[in-house]
Amino acid sequence: MKLPLTKKQKAPAVPIVPRRMGFDFSGVKNTDYWFDNDPVLTHLLNILSLTFPDGERFFVDSVRALRDQVTDKERQKDISGFIGQEAMHSLEHQAFNDLIAEGKYDDIVAHALAVTNKLLAGARKHLSKRRQLAATAGLEHFTAILADAILRRPDLINKMDPAVRDLWVWHAIEETEHKAVAYDLYQDVSGDYLERQRAFLFSTAYLISFSSYFTWQMLKRDNVHKKPLTLARGLWKGFGYRGVISGIIPAWLSYLKPGFHPWDDDNSALIEEWRKSLPEPKAKNAA
């Protein structure tokens, strides 16, 4: 079922510029749990971070494979910006992930990466380029709404250890800047509503299963499963009232609307508001 294409491509005056930040995460070694001193949320975000390098390379490949369907020069410029930003995200999160892998979690990290690689290899082999792009558009919506939740909640940002805070703020800003690129390209290539939803629901189901399983493995390694009060507090912060994850459910549901577009929620004002808090990048247009 193909629906009419939307005319809105991105919010006005939102440049998509790759920036090489070169974050230093050495201070994170001073704390076991960098998010609100909470093991549940720290490990949940650690597991999501593990998926970013390989996942974002998949996003880049799926967009690059079909970018020739677009002839508009501004759109091509945005696609190049998207590719560059995702490449920078992979580099920065790889450096962060290397810290996670050190010590008592190295076997869990290796297992998680092996599962991710196997799934992405299967997607590349068995899915058409168009369906890979549909999956990318859906997962980009997930990262965009998580980014929005971070940028709209200074209380959440302030709970992050300073050693990693800038990484997540920077990533959230750039996910907001390019949140419509993959979606718009998919609309140009196909616009099939049912295919888009199937890819979105499957991708979400995988992400929930993957994150839940490997977060639990890390919590078991820390013996948190034997500390019901600690576990309950963390689950409430993530999935209770105004929780980090439960708070994005309405935005997640918005993707199911037939007339959905990522910039229906114009949160572009958050970009410059939070960019002021970041250090100067080591290089712009680094990719």
pLDDT in tens, 219-260: 999 999 999 999 999 999 999 988 889 999 999 999 999 999
Among 156, 150, 155, 146, residue whose Cα is nearest residue 169: 150
Contact indicator for 237, 244 with CB cutoff of 8 Å: yes
The residue behind tokens 């919590």 is 219
Contact indicator for 279, 166 with CB cutoff of 8 Å: yes
Contact indicator for 34, 164 with CB cutoff of 8 Å: yes
Contact indicator for 140, 221 with CB cutoff of 8 Å: no
- The Cα 81–Cα 272 span in angstroms is 17
Sequence-separated contacts (24+) of 113-117 with Cβ below 8 Å: 113/50, 113/54, 115/210, 116/50, 116/51, 116/54, 116/55, 116/210, 117/54
- Structure pTM? 0.92
With cut-offs at 50, 70 and 90, classify the pLDDT of residue 11. low
Please give the pLDDT value at position 242.
Answer: 84
Two tokens, residue 115 = 């599962």
Question: Is 67 a residue whose pLDDT tops 90?
Answer: yes
With cut-offs at 50, 70 and 90, classify the pLDDT of residue 10. low
Contact indicator for 16, 81 with CB cutoff of 8 Å: yes
With cut-offs at 50, 70 and 90, classify the pLDDT of residue 31. confident
With cut-offs at 50, 70 and 90, classify the pLDDT of residue 157. very high
Two tokens, residue 154 = 């200074």
pLDDT in tens, 112-156: 999 999 999 999 999 999 999 999 999 999 999 999 999 999 999
